[in-house]
Amino acid sequence: MATPRSQRIGIWVIAIVLTIGTLGSFLAIILSNQNKTTDQTKLQKAYADYQVKSSVYSTKLAAQTKTLSDKYYSDFQQYSSVPATFDAKSVKNLVKQDLKIGDGAELKSDTPYSAYYIVWGPKGTVYDQSIDKGALKSPIASNLVALTGWKNGVIGMKEGGVRELTLPSDQAYGASGNGNIGANTPLKFIVLVIPKVDEIPQPQMPQILLDYYKTQQSGTQ
CA distance 55 to 200: 13
pLDDT greater than 70 at residue 56: yes
SS3 state of residue 23: helix
The more confidently predicted of residues 89 and 15 is 89
Least confident of 16-20, 45-49, 82-86, 176-180: 16-20
**Which H/E stretch holds residue 130?**
none
Say if CB 206 and CB 52 are below 8 A apart.
Answer: no
CA distance 87 to 85: 7
Q: Which domains occur in the chain, in start order?
A: 75-195 (3.10.50.40)
Tell me the β-bridge partners of 168.
none
Q: What average pLDDT does range 121-143 have in this prediction?
A: 97
Q: What would the pLDDT profile of 58-106 be if each residue is shown by its tens digit?
A: 999 999 999 999 999 999 999 999 999 999 999 999 999 999 999 999 9
CA distance 133 to 211: 38
CA distance 180 to 135: 24
**Secondary structure percentages of the chain, helix, strand, coil, to 5:** 50, 20, 30
CA distance 116 to 195: 11
pTM for the structure as a whole: 0.77
Backbone angles phi, psi at 111, to 5 degrees: -80, 125
Q: What would the pLDDT profile of 23-44 be if each residue is shown by its tens digit?
A: 444 444 334 444 566 678 888 8
Contacts of 161 (CB under 8 A, 6+ apart): 98, 100, 101, 102, 104, 192, 193
Q: Looking at residue 38, what is its pLDDT?
A: 60
